């Protein structure tokens, strides 16, 4: 059920992005399509599932928006001035396949497209404004960008970050967009967001711990990007601070918390529970 739901969300996202770029015949548009395709599509899936739980049918534009914004962040994160990665999802990163200027512009354009898509979503003005404002916050200095800035600063800090500092950093860098995705459904319905916020917060942290574990245990060919980089750079991670076994236990506790947070939705949220379990058992 989870695999089918992920694939369905990916197809819906691709259709919206393709339609939005149909009239653009430029290499930068090709780079945008390339960046959005091929991923897990977890964030778009979370939008679609949260919308389904609230009987909202206008989720596709919002799901495509978060995948565009997430893809922009990956394009920039992979560039030489940031993480300097040549592979993403087993394929050349955008700046490698094209060039650095195209990568910068493709990322910028995807970020703009995210807000254009929400602006054009077939829903009332109030939820549209809420979604756009909350996404701006989640993606900016109080969320993803702020977390990324803390991560870069940590590379040259005189001492490694503490566990609390790593948790705060990752709540922004990784968690903010995951939590926003989980909350998008009730935001569309102008309903209570508390349960899905708790789910998203726990899921985002579990996802990052799983990433840290994959950096230690993962195979580069399967993961689709370089592994072992954090350890080689001496970066503090959940694994380096907790140890491998304790990090795995912590991730499992967070998954349980995420699943418990869905209790108001009963069995209707089982696919979201499957997604929580998936994030700590995936191999890429």
Say if residue 37's pLDDT is above 80: yes
Residue-range domain boundaries for the chain: 2-279
**What are 169-214's pLDDT values in tens digits?**
999 999 999 999 999 999 999 999 999 999 999 999 999 999 999 9
Q: What is the dihedral of CA 141, 142, 143, 147, to 10 degrees?
A: 70
Q: What angle do CA 228, 146, 276 make, to 5 degrees?
A: 60
**What are 100-151's pLDDT values in tens digits?**
999 999 999 999 999 999 999 999 999 999 999 999 999 999 999 999 999 9
What share of the chain in percent tops pLDDT 90? 87
pLDDT score of 220: 79
pLDDT score of 53: 98
**What are 212-240's pLDDT values in tens digits?**
999 999 887 777 787 877 776 678 899 99
Mean pLDDT over the full length of the chain: 95
Please identify, in words, the CATH class of the domain defined by 2-279: mainly alpha
pLDDT score of 170: 96
């Amino acid at each position: 059920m989870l695999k089918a739901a992920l694939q369905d969300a990916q197809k819906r996202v691709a259709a919206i992005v393709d339609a939005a770029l149909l009239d653009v015949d430029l290499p930068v548009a090709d780079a945008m399509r390339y960046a959005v395709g091929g991923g897990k599509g977890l964030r778009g899936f979370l939008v679609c599932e949260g919308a389904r739980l609230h009987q909202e049918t206008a989720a596709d534009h919002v799901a495509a928006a978060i995948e565009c914004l997430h893809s922009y962040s990956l394009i920039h994160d992979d560039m030489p001035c940031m993480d300097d990665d040549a592979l993403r999802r087993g394929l050349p990163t955008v700046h490698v396949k094209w060039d650095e200027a195209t990568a910068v512009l493709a990322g910028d354009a995807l970020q703009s497209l995210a807000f254009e898509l929400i602006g054009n979503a077939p829903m009332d003005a109030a939820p549209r404004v809420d979604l756009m404002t909350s996404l701006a916050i989640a993606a900016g200095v109080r969320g993803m960008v702020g977390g990324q800035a803390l991560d870069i600063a940590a590379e040259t800090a005189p001492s490694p970050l503490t566990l609390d500092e790593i948790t705060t950093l990752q709540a922004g860098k990784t968690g903010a967009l995951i939590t926003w995705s989980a909350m998008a459904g009730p935001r569309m319905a102008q309903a209570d967001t508390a349960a899905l916020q708790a789910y998203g917060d726990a899921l985002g942290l579990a996802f990052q711990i799983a990433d840290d574990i994959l950096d230690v245990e993962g195979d580069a060919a399967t993961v689709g990007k370089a592994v072992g980089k954090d350890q080689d750079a001496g970066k503090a991670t959940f694994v380096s601070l907790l140890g491998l076994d304790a990090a795995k236990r912590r991730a499992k506790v967070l998954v349980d918390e995420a699943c418990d947070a869905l209790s108001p939705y009963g069995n209707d949220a089982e696919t979201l529970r499957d997604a929580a379990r998936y994030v700590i058992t995936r191999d890429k």
